[in-house]
Amino acid sequence: MEMVLSRSPFMVVVVIGLGHPVVDNQFPIFTRRLLKIQPDFMGLLVMLKSLIHRLSQTAYVRSAIDDQANLDCFKEKPTPRMIWGLVIVGISYTIGWPLIGLLGILATYWGQPLLLAVGGPLAYGLSHLVFIIGAWLAGADHAKAFFRWVTRVTFLKLTKNGITS
């Protein structure tokens, strides 16, 4: 004997009793032997369709589809400023966690935990600062073009496959 206890867009909770209606009604707390949680895929699918439909109506998605966003900017030769920006971004990655790891090793070797406690956040902050400078030098044109293209391709695929029909 199963009884649906709760239904939400994410799951259905079903309570399975012992199967005897008199015992189940007289002692509802003590005779419940299993609480089964089942995912409600239809509810999730309805929510997903609604989300995709609402997102496809935003100005960003509509402009990416209407303008036929593409990756033509990647065909152009990179400027020296962009190259230096990407090199600096790469340097920021080598500054971050490897330097924190080195500080951790040195702090352990020398028995000075404050070296890591103070130097770690400083190294991480320096890494972020170098990354921001590199990203500023490299520019955001290529990232914007890439994200507009991904948005166009994704939403065209989702809407043509009948996800939002």
Predicted model pTM: 0.58
Model confidence pLDDT, tens digit, residues 23-72 = 445 545 544 444 455 566 677 778 888 899 899 999 999 999 999 989 89
> Residue 72: is it exposed, middle or buried by C-beta count within 10 angstroms (0-12/13-18/19+)?
exposed
32 vs 37: CA distance, rounded Å: 14
How far are the Cα atoms of 101, 104, 107, 116, 121 from residue 111, in angstroms, in the given order? Answer: 15, 10, 6, 10, 18
Taking the CB of residue 21, how many other CB atoms lie within 10 A of it? Answer: 10
* Chain length of the chain: 165
Question: Where do the domains of the chain lie?
Answer: 2-46, 69-160
Model confidence pLDDT, tens digit, residues 74-85 = 899 999 999 999
Model confidence pLDDT, tens digit, residues 103-142 = 999 999 999 999 999 999 999 999 999 999 999 999 888 8
Beta bridge partners of 2: 16
Model confidence pLDDT, tens digit, residues 7-31 = 555 555 444 544 545 444 554 554 4
116 vs 107: CA distance, rounded Å: 6
6 vs 69: CA distance, rounded Å: 45
Judged against a pLDDT cut of 70, whether residue 101 lies above it is answered with yes
